[in-house]
Structure 1
Amino acid sequence: MSEIRKINNEELKEFVDIVTNAYPGIMQPIEEMKEATIKRFSERQDQDESLDFFGLFRNDRLLGGMRLHYYQMNLFGNFISVGGVGLVAVDLLHKKEKAAKELLEYFLSFFLDKGINMVLLYPFRPDFYKKMGFGYGPKMHQYRITPDSFPLGPSKSRLRFLSLIDKEKVRDCYSRYALKTHGMFYKTDAELEGMFKNPEIRIIGYEDNSEIKGYIQFSFEKRSQTNFVYNDLVIKEMIYETPEALLEISTFLHTQADQVNRIVWNTQEEYVHFLIEDPRNGSHNLLPSVYHETNLSGVGLMYRIINVHGIFEDLKDHNFNHVSAKVKLKIKDTFLPQNNIELILHAHNGWLEIASNGDYDVKISLDVSDFSSMLMGVVTFKELYLLGRTEISNSEYLETMNRLFFSIEKPRSISLF
């Protein structure tokens, strides 16, 4: 019989041992490093209200654990509470004993009990979590751009290096951006502190009337063990509220050409190639027939709606594109039986109400994973239909359903957990 509960500080050592074996690529079995990790985990659990560590115990022995996160996310202009999970790890001697499945089930029920309707994670394998009902978020694109491809503006006079004393100004800048951007989380205190404590990270901000209106967080990465002047500049985070802020930051990047080989930029922006003069990544690869390789792309953050009724309550102030229709929605959820439901939605000029029963114009059916992605605006109903991922009882309503769930703005998130 398993017990899942919050790990106390004395048990964190056992958890760190499990994590070290589960993630050998990022955790080294060096005693000093393990002690530092235990100390960091203990401090985070004691001082950071945005997370907790949980463990799965059998016969009083810790077999695995996870880190749960409590976030606020912008959902079409309204911030809602969402849950996250990270660092899921199972003892190597107890793999394939359903421990990970039990941890994930607890994760979902934990946040359901808190009245939270959506959870998120970064998958170690996207297909594994897709089967558990998690839907794909927006892709991340990695560009490797020559510095002089960034626009060169007339000035970078409003840029300066930022330090810990600028923490609240950076928070204000980030929060204003998050308020305007669907999918963004509020930055936690620990995330903000971490930006300034890492000695490898530099932060440069654009200041206008004593306010930070944009900033870039970056580090340098060696490209050669023998040539010390051969480096890449890696952008960790770049926020800009105005075109003026972006232009000065771009000017800074442009002027690094004598010291930097490539700018490495991981971004969810789809239109980066309109900003930079040469978006090619240096591979010189061509896709048929003459399409120049510009970037790598990957899927990462995944969304999961765990309470369909609840998420529509979260969206009660959101207008669904002024569409009027009566829709029977069938959600397939094999991992959460209580979420495997049918309900009727009445849309009146874009305002949705859930009806307990009654007539409807059209019935649509889809898996909760695809529903989660569609509702977030990652993919359209029509795209899912053409890919065979959804069903509709009357194809004459295809465009109406597409408009109903269409979002002009795809979600963005740069929070890592």
Structure 2
Amino acid sequence: MTETYRPARPEEIDDVARLKAHSFPAPNRGHEWWENFLVNGPHGGLEALWVTEDQGRLIGSCQLLWMRQWISGVAMPVMGLGSVAIAPTHRKRGLATRMLIAGFEHARERGDVASILYPFRASFYESLGYGLAGEAHQYQVPPALLPDDKQERLRVRMVDGDADEAAMRAVYREAAQRLQTGQLDRTERNWRQSWKRDDLAAVLYWGESGEAEGYAIVRYRADLPIDRRFIEVEERVWLTLRAQRGIYAWLSSLGDQWREIVYRAHPEEGFGDRLSEPRLPLLSAPNWGLWFPSATLLRGPMLRVLDVPDALRLRRLAGTQELTLALEVEDHQIPENRGPWRVHIEGGRMEVEPYTGGHVDGTLRLPIDTLSRIFVGALAPWQAMSGGLAVIDRPALIPRLDQSFSVPKPWMFDRF
């Protein structure tokens, strides 16, 4: 094996762009588009490029993006894995797996405790230790089905100018830190390049105090034939229930211009309960006897813990549980994660050190993808145990673990 794995050099952008264009052929995404994206993309540039070289030729590439993700109120350093490309002549040889395992080690060395991605095939990334870590319920409904509130709707105004954009960013940051888990700690580059497009618009909800309490970013799907056009809610954030009602009310008022709204709801949002008729249109999805379809389940984000002890030390916990576990992790790619670890839970924190014996309250054994899902809040410990994804020698401890790891289900708007 003569492959080497390393960061890309500036003079290799042309070669990497050619590789990407072969791997992701699409209209309007040729060589020049990829060159610009790899240098000026919204989530990273040359500093994030990782390549595989064999006998002087680049045969593989991906992005190891520098990111911070809010998990349990902590902005954690994570590696965003993007645009994995293998030369057409080198596929089905295990090259992607070897390149990514080398990338894991590189990310660990620079301090990343986890990695996030959107998969081209979930099963491939599950084999590398990633677990599914996010869901959305997608509705496509006429605006009039949303609840109106004439008073709260008056507090919704279009985003116009730098002061409004600053208010929108402040709302996002507070919600990501205090109310949600899974969202990115956005940089100036993210904000500047990820949403300012001609087909997007944004509104803010202003509270009685004069402070912004919520916003929504929508996309005008005017690129479609007239009879199929709709408005798409790309992002919505609120800090108060009044802001939530105001944004719903504003969306409900758009029926004169748009026949339908596409809305992706957080699983815990209860969006279907707000609709006057939650049933999907006839024949849009199969029913089940007297049961009717209401929304489409979307899945996408995946997460992998790269550094078990450091990730657990950063993770804040709920409640006041005190508990000591022996933790054994099955990790085929990163042997340093396997442990066993002594994990002491107290005061909403975890102390982690190698386990060399002595008293523990129980022993927990699980694969890294299951640990990753529990870590980010996508899977409760009881669900892992009942599904055979994890084993604990003292089942009576499961309710205490559930309480400790409880956070809102992960939610992430940013795609990369």
In the superposition, the TM-score normalised over structure 2's length comes to 0.89
Please state whether the residue corresponding to 1:261 is helix, strand or coil. Answer: coil
Find the aligned partners of 1:127 and 1:6 in 2 and give their Cα distance.
27
TM-aligned CA distance change 1:42 to 1:350, over 3 Å: closer
Find the aligned partners of 2:214 and 2:414 in 1 and give their Cα distance.
17
Find the aligned partners of 2:106 and 2:265 in 1 and give their Cα distance.
32
Please state whether the residue corresponding to 2:259 is helix, strand or coil. Answer: strand
Find the aligned partners of 2:103 and 2:137 in 1 and give their Cα distance.
29
TM-aligned CA distance change 1:279 to 1:194, over 3 Å: farther
Deviation per residue, 1:234-279 (Å, 9 max, x gap): 1111122222222222222111112222211123343211222222
Equivalent residue for 2:215? Answer: 215
1:209-248 equivalent positions in 2, closer than 5 A: 211-221=211-221, 225=225, 228=226, 230-248=228-246
Equivalent residue for 2:374? Answer: 374
TM-aligned CA distance change 1:346 to 1:67, over 3 Å: closer
The alignment of Structure 1 onto Structure 2 pairs a total of residues equal to 407
Find the aligned partners of 1:42 and 1:386 in 2 and give their Cα distance.
46
Q: Verify: 1:16 aligned to 2:35, yes or no.
A: no
Deviation per residue, 1:75-120 (Å, 9 max, x gap): 2112221111101111111112332112211221111102222111
Please state whether the residue corresponding to 2:6 is helix, strand or coil. Answer: strand
Deviation per residue, 1:332-369 (Å, 9 max, x gap): 11111111221222334655333543122321211110
Which letter maps to 2:415? L
Which letter maps to 1:311? A
TM-aligned CA distance change 1:52 to 1:289, over 3 Å: same
Find the aligned partners of 1:233 and 1:369 in 2 and give their Cα distance.
36
Find the aligned partners of 1:409 and 1:353 in 2 and give their Cα distance.
23
Query: What is the aligned counterpart of 1:142 among 138, 142, 166?
Result: 138
Equivalent residue for 2:67? Answer: 71
Please state whether the residue corresponding to 2:147 is helix, strand or coil. Answer: coil
Contact 1:50–1:188 (Cα < 8 Å) also in 2: no
Identity of aligned residues (%): 20
Structure 1 segments unaligned to the other structure (5+ residues): none
TM-aligned CA distance change 1:50 to 1:244, over 3 Å: farther
Equivalent residue for 2:57? Answer: 61
Find the aligned partners of 1:71 and 1:306 in 2 and give their Cα distance.
14
1:17-416 equivalent positions in 2, closer than 5 A: 17-24=18-25, 27-28=26-27, 33-44=30-41, 52-155=48-151, 156-163=153-160, 165=162, 166-180=164-178, 181-195=180-194, 197-208=196-207, 211-221=211-221, 225=225, 228=226, 230-270=228-268, 271-284=270-283, 285=285, 287-315=287-315, 318-348=316-346, 351-354=349-352, 356=355, 357-405=357-405, 407-416=406-415
Contact 2:21–2:34 (Cα < 8 Å) also in 1: no
Contact 2:313–2:350 (Cα < 8 Å) also in 1: no
Which letter maps to 1:64? G
Which letter maps to 2:216? I
TM-aligned CA distance change 1:164 to 1:8, over 3 Å: farther
Find the aligned partners of 1:199 and 1:306 in 2 and give their Cα distance.
38
Which letter maps to 2:199? E
Equivalent residue for 2:8? Answer: 7
Which letter maps to 2:8? I
TM-aligned CA distance change 1:34 to 1:151, over 3 Å: same
Which letter maps to 1:247? R
Find the aligned partners of 1:36 and 1:290 in 2 and give their Cα distance.
50
Which letter maps to 2:123? D
Contact 2:78–2:116 (Cα < 8 Å) also in 1: yes
TM-aligned CA distance change 1:197 to 1:29, over 3 Å: closer
Find the aligned partners of 2:399 and 2:159 in 1 and give their Cα distance.
49
In the superposition, the TM-score normalised over structure 1's length comes to 0.89
Find the aligned partners of 1:337 and 1:262 in 2 and give their Cα distance.
50
Which letter maps to 1:107? G
Q: How far 1:222 sits from its partner (Å)?
A: 5.3
Q: How far 1:186 sits from its partner (Å)?
A: 1.3
Find the aligned partners of 1:403 and 1:203 in 2 and give their Cα distance.
37
Q: How far 1:51 sits from its partner (Å)?
A: 5.8
Contact 1:50–1:69 (Cα < 8 Å) also in 2: no
Please state whether the residue corresponding to 2:48 is helix, strand or coil. Answer: strand
Q: How far 1:402 sits from its partner (Å)?
A: 3.6
Please state whether the residue corresponding to 2:129 is helix, strand or coil. Answer: coil
Greater shift after overlay, 126-135 or 323-332? 323-332
Q: How far 1:151 sits from its partner (Å)?
A: 1.2
Please state whether the residue corresponding to 1:277 is helix, strand or coil. Answer: coil
Please state whether the residue corresponding to 1:409 is helix, strand or coil. Answer: coil
Find the aligned partners of 2:382 and 2:277 in 1 and give their Cα distance.
33
Q: How far 1:137 sits from its partner (Å)?
A: 0.4
Q: How far 1:148 sits from its partner (Å)?
A: 0.6
Find the aligned partners of 2:16 and 2:45 in 1 and give their Cα distance.
20
Contact 1:71–1:186 (Cα < 8 Å) also in 2: yes
TM-aligned CA distance change 1:42 to 1:403, over 3 Å: closer
Find the aligned partners of 1:41 and 1:124 in 2 and give their Cα distance.
19
